[in-house]
Amino acid sequence: MHGFGDSRDAWEFSAPCLARQGIEVIAPDQRGFGETAHRGAWSGTARMVQDIREEARQLHAEAPDIPLFVMGESMGGALAALLATDRPDGTTRGFILVSPAIWKLDPVSRLVVDMLDLIAPEWIFTGAHAPGEHIATDNIAALRRLYFDPLTLHGFRLDLLRGLIDLMAAGQKAAPHVRAPLLVLYGDRDQMIPAPPMARFWADLPQDSRKDLIPGGHHLLLRDRDGARAVADIASWILAPDRLLPSGGDAAAAAWRAGDPAD
């Protein structure tokens, strides 16, 4: 499940690597993004989670003997976290959250967004309106492909942005209610999701959830120049979940958490 403004093309770098490990990636456009109908409209968190639930059930019905994992990046990771709170029904083997968009905004920031949505709901928000510089990945070629991809959504109405903010808060709250095996990856150079909310999310997850810290990793971990590290960890967890992650991410995560990133 791809991120906000992205499309099925989010997996163009990682899918071939996973395929070489015998792992097939099925990458739909999420409702309101890519080539779907009503592009640029927010359909609601519940509807988007239900879409993933229905897709997973259909895939499981078509190939019940093949283990199915739900993987989501950024916005898709928050949606996957919510789906992971379902009562297990044998449909999915586990969930993989790549730089999940989990972050409850402070009350003042939320009030500003609500006021803008009230007085200017048709206003189009772009990256140029975001304060400061935010680097999504160190892979310039990947950034260019993302920017010029006709499936990429560059401008967002405030109601779409508000929907994302609500989803991020819901994803943060989902952590203690996760009921399925889960791997969550995060890069310590992520400039989109700050360390404190991610550290709180990790702390609230069930103890048996796997945490993978990628030193030097950015928000678009799988598209980084060194994205093969994260991809290898994902493949390892799918194929041999009891083994330590090949990047050393288990130890890196423990060290990162010991450094009080939630402060």
Assigned domain for 263 exists: no
Q: State the CATH number of the domain containing residue 128.
A: 3.40.50.1820
Range of the domain at 185: 8-258
Burial zone of 248 (CB within 10 Å; 0-12 exposed, 13-18 middle, 19+ buried):
middle
- The more confidently predicted of residues 261 and 243 is 243
- pLDDT above 70 as % of the chain: 89
Assigned domain for 245 exists: yes
pLDDT in tens, 11-52: 999 999 999 999 999 999 999 999 999 899 999 999 999 999
Assigned domain for 3 exists: no
Give the residue among 203, 223, 210 at the shortest CA–CA distance from 252.
210
Assigned domain for 103 exists: yes
Question: Which pTM value belongs to this model?
Answer: 0.92
- Are 99 and 74 in contact, with CB atoms under 8 Å apart? yes
Assigned domain for 79 exists: yes
CB count within 10 Å of CB 211 equals: 23
Assigned domain for 71 exists: yes
pLDDT in tens, 165-202: 999 999 999 999 999 999 999 999 999 999 999 999 99
Number of domains in the chain: 1
Residue with tokens 């969930």: 95
Assigned domain for 176 exists: yes
How is residue 124 annotated by DSSP?
A: E
Residue with tokens 């990793």: 217
Assigned domain for 2 exists: no
Q: Which residue pairs from 127-133 have beta carbons closer than 8 angstroms and sit at least 24 positions apart in sequence?
A: 127/154, 133/191
